[in-house]
Amino acid sequence: MSYESPKYINQSQADLFQNLQSTINTAVTESKKAIAAEKVAADALMNENIMKAGNASAAVIKDIDDTNYGDEFRTTKVDSYFDNYETSDGRTVTYAERAKELTMEMNQKPRPENYGDLQAELNFINSSPQTLKTSLDNLTSQFDFEGRDIDLTGNSDALLAAYIVQGKPGFGKNSNFDYKIRRGPNNSVEYVFSGSGTVNGKEVSFKDGEYVVNSNTLQDYEDNDKEFLVEIPNETEIINTVVKDSDIFKGAEYNDKGEMTTPGDISLLINDIKMDGEVYIDDEINTDAVTVMKFKGEDGTEYKYPTFNVDKKKLRNKMQTAIDINLKRFLDPTTGNVDEAKAYWNNRLAARTATEPYDIDIIRESFGAFPEVAGMSDDEVRQKWEEAIAPWENGVEPTPYQLAAFHRVYTDRTVNEVYDKMMSPAYARQRIAGDVVDEAGNIKTLNKLSKDQAAKVQGILTIEK
């Protein structure tokens, strides 16, 4: 039901009911955001409780080889796995016993009709030790989080399993937590984690009572560089990568971390990114188009000169191709990593976005790919934005509106970083818009400054209020 229908509304009450409809719409939006935030917070709290319980140090089980699967606790698991082979007729025997049975059946004369099936089963058994070893290697690799900045809004089941795998005190042998290894579908291996406990007065447990990890899934994650325990992407490295790829600072040099070690030159493209407008209007400096910088010469004389302001929209257009290429890391339908995008959004972008109000025109621009937005009121569009910038939940695919908001905020964060650098005094000489003038009106061009004075231009420039 809509409260906007004239059939039900007296003209004098129209504004009242319209306000009521807006209040209801807002309440629904806030409710959706609150529910999403609560789900994310619940995972975060569970993860924090798990981590607090495992603060005591414990060696991560590594370096598994063909004959040694790890410590006594893990070796017991492996022994149990190889002692329990379920046959098609419902018997439970050891892997070795079943291999012997298969060999005897296959050696019968004449050859049995199901020889191919028997051979396939024997091949599986013979390859089982290596299959198990590989899956244990992958399991250990995936659930090792030492020294990593793990997304605590992520899957709490995976983090709890990691503590069990690593044998953390309170989660390993003689604890209420355990795991078993069993044969999975299509001759795969499954790791089944279970158990619960109380930590800091809070229950720590698996959502569905147990958590199953399949060896094929482990291999897929390893092959595609995905993570069960997602690390929060480093924002500085992300921005540095975009800056480097955009080549916005011509001639700049970067280290292995993508950090700029040698400043680049923006003067070559200043005409492409400067704000429109004349430097002077009726002999007065146009402060919209330029910033007045000042410094003191060796003799104490104060000089000032205008420098072009950078147009942030033009800068965005100049950088957008490099930004879009790097965004594929998160948002590409085929190669993107949604879990990594969620970690980046929930831990780096969402909180600051909620406190930075976006103009309705920018929001409409961000949602420009959706035809239905054109017919929405400003209130409706803003509600869509508020829903889109809520925390992302685990196991729930982000909506197209959430992806569009991610694209906008990611772009803005990167462009703002570059804009601030370009507008800093260090790059003022590259934005020169006029001659250096002292208080007496004497002109002194930059190329006539001494090296010492030029250095001071770099370090002492301030913005005139």
The CA distances from residue 337 to 141, 147, 328, 342, 366, in Å, are: 19, 21, 9, 9, 21
- Pairing status of strand 202-214 against strand 436-438: unpaired
pLDDT of amino acid 72: 57
The 10s digit of each residue's pLDDT in 352-364 is 787 788 899 999 9
Contacts of 397 (CB under 8 A, 6+ apart): 338
Decide if pLDDT at 457 tops 70. Answer: no
pTM, full prediction: 0.71
Among 184, 211, 231, which residue terminates a domain? 231
| Domain total in the chain | 3
pLDDT band at residue 220, thresholds of 50, 70 and 90? very high
User: Comparing C-alpha atoms, which of 217, 303, 313 is closest to residue 273?
Assistant: 313
Compute CA 371 distance to the chain's CA centroid, rounded to the nearest angstrom: 28
398-410, pLDDT tens digit by residue?
999 999 999 999 9
**Quick one: 399 and 452 in the same domain?**
no
> Which range has the worst mean pLDDT, 155-159, 282-286, 314-318?
282-286
- Give the closest residue to 323 by CA, choosing from 399, 388, 247: 247
Give domain status of residue 43, yes or no.
yes
Res 211 pLDDT > 80 = yes
Chain CA centroid to CA 242, Å:
15
Task: Give the residue numbers spanning the domain of 406.
Answer: 313-422
Mark whether 224 and 81 lie in a shared domain. yes
Same domain? For 23 and 151 the reply is yes
Q: With 0-12 CB in 10 A as exposed, 13-18 as middle and 19+ as buried, what is 257?
A: exposed
Percent of the chain with pLDDT over 90: 27
CB 166 within 8 A of CB 93: no
- pLDDT of res. 367: 96
- Best-predicted range by mean pLDDT among 129-133, 246-250, 438-442? 246-250
Q: Which residue has the higher pLDDT, 10 or 219?
A: 219
Strand partners, 285: 280
pLDDT surpasses 80 at 46: no
Kindly tell me if the per-residue pLDDT of 57 is higher than 50.
no
The C-alpha atoms of residue 206 and residue 47 are separated, in whole angstroms, by 11
Lowest mean pLDDT among 39-53, 119-133, 222-236: 39-53
Distance CA(233)–CA(343), nearest Å, equals: 7
Shared-domain flag, residues 303 and 409: no
Q: Sorting pLDDT into bands at 50, 70 and 90, what band is 20?
A: very low
pLDDT at 215: 94
Is residue 214 within 8 A of residue 187, CB to CB? The reply is no
pLDDT score of 455 more than 70: no
Does any domain span residue 236?
Answer: no
Give pLDDT, residue 445: 57
Residue-level pLDDT at 324: 94
- Candidates 272, 311, 297, 283; CA nearest to 434 is 283
pLDDT band at 204 (very low <50, low <70, confident <90, very high): confident
Domain check: are 303 and 318 in the same one? no
One domain for residues 216 and 115:
yes
Beta strands in 32-132 (DSSP E): 85-86, 92-93
Burial of 458 (0-12, 13-18, 19+ CB in 10 A): middle
Q: Is residue 21 part of a domain?
A: yes
pLDDT of residue 48: 65
Residue 305 identity: Y
In a domain, 381, yes or no: yes
CB contact at 8 A, 45 and 199: no
Mean of pLDDT over the chain: 78
Tokens 């929001």 sit on residue: 363
Confidence (pLDDT) at 1:
34
Query: Is residue 136 over pLDDT 60?
Result: yes
Q: Based on the domain organization, do 105 and 212 belong to the same domain?
A: yes
Q: Is 294 helix (H, G, I), strand (E, B) or coil?
A: strand
User: If we measure between CA atoms, which residue out of 125, 136, 132, 134 comes closest to residue 94?
Assistant: 125
The mean pLDDT value for 316-339 works out to: 92
The per-residue DSSP string of 344-406 comes to: HIIIIIHHHHHTSPPPHHHHHHHTTT-GGGGGS-HHHHHHHHHHHTSPPPTT-PPPHHHHHHH
In a domain, residue 249? The reply is no
| Cα distances (Å, whole numbers) of residue 215 to 77, 134, 184, 188, 439 | 15, 9, 8, 6, 76
Residues 361 and 399 in one domain: yes
Residue after which a domain boundary falls, among 184, 206, 231: 231
- What's the alpha-carbon Rg for the chain, to the nearest Å? 32
Residue type at 378? D
